[in-house]
Amino acid sequence: MKDAPSLVLKGSAAFDGTPLFADLSFTAPGGCWTCLLGPSGVGKSTILRLLAGLAEGATFTGRMQAGDGGPLQGRIALMAQDDLLLPWLTVEANVTLGARLRGETPDRVRVGQVLEQVGLGDLAARRPSELSGGQRQRAALARTLMEDRAIVLLDEPFSALDARTRARMQELTAATLAGRTVLLVTHDPGEAARLGDKIVVMTEAGLHDLPPPPGAVPRPVGDPDTLTVQARLLEILRKDETCAPLTT
């Protein structure tokens, strides 16, 4: 995809008058992967939901915009932490739901291809209740990959997958979303080091960038520079105190 815009969020958010974050200034550069890590409850998913216009109950003061000045609405796909599969629909019907809701005819060839790629080719006719947790997560991933959006927000999309499948799905997702603006929330420092063109740690004290390893994403799992950044990230995340300025 050409010219996927950057994403900007500057402002404060609160739930029922209780501040979640204040004066946050977050930018995800256009056409590449930004990985967002941080302790549970700090507000990572809320940032994704705010950007997607789905943060029910949250009050946001500030601005959220695409860097090219165009609208966010209609250009964002969100894969939420919960798979949000409709239980009465088959895997295939879930994966094509977006297109059908928009009144479009789903591209059957592409659906079959994506389901094969995520390893669900033989399970297309099953209902979500007949799938394992990892299979459900791959169905939700397939649904997201089917959406042709310039901006893709992924909230822990690989968290339920075994290590081998996770590495494969990271590679598939990176290839499929090449050139798009991707914002990935993850708890996995290895994943962030592998997939981040930009890596941001969010704490109660604010946002801190950690320089990513060199090389294009997805970086090889055993790449020494990637492993060094992975270790550094884990070190930072294990600190109890608020994040000190980061150096490599």
Residues that bind ligand ATP (CB under 6 A): 15, 20, 38, 40-46, 56-57
Smallest distance from the beta carbon of 157 to ligand ATP, in angstroms?
13
Nearer to ligand ATP, 150 or 184 (CB): 184
Output the six-digit token pair for 84: 């949000």
Output the six-digit token pair for 42: 């700090």
Smallest distance from the beta carbon of 45 to ligand ATP, in angstroms?
3
Nearer to ligand ATP, 111 or 202 (CB): 202
Distance of CA 198 to the CA centre of its chain: 13
Q: What is the DSSP letter of 15?
A: E
Smallest distance from the beta carbon of 198 to ligand ATP, in angstroms?
18
Length of the chain: 248
β-strand pairing of 198-203 with 206-210: antiparallel
Smallest distance from the beta carbon of 17 to ligand ATP, in angstroms?
11
Smallest distance from the beta carbon of 56 to ligand ATP, in angstroms?
6
Question: Cα separation of 218 and 173, whole Å?
Answer: 9
Residues 204, 29: contact at Cβ < 8 Å?
A: no
Question: Cα separation of 231 and 234, whole Å?
Answer: 5
Nearer to ligand ATP, 148 or 204 (CB): 204
Nearer to ligand ATP, 19 or 215 (CB): 19
Spatial CB neighbours of 212, under 8 Å, sequence gap ≥ 6: 193, 196, 197, 198, 199, 229
Nearer to ligand ATP, 116 or 204 (CB): 204
Question: Cα separation of 161 and 21, whole Å?
Answer: 31
Nearer to ligand ATP, 57 or 103 (CB): 57
Smallest distance from the beta carbon of 129 to ligand ATP, in angstroms?
24
Q: Which helix (H) or strand (E) holds 35?
A: strand 33-37
Nearest-CA neighbor of 129 among 91, 92, 182, 167? 91
Cα angle vertex 109, ends 115, 150, to 5°? 75
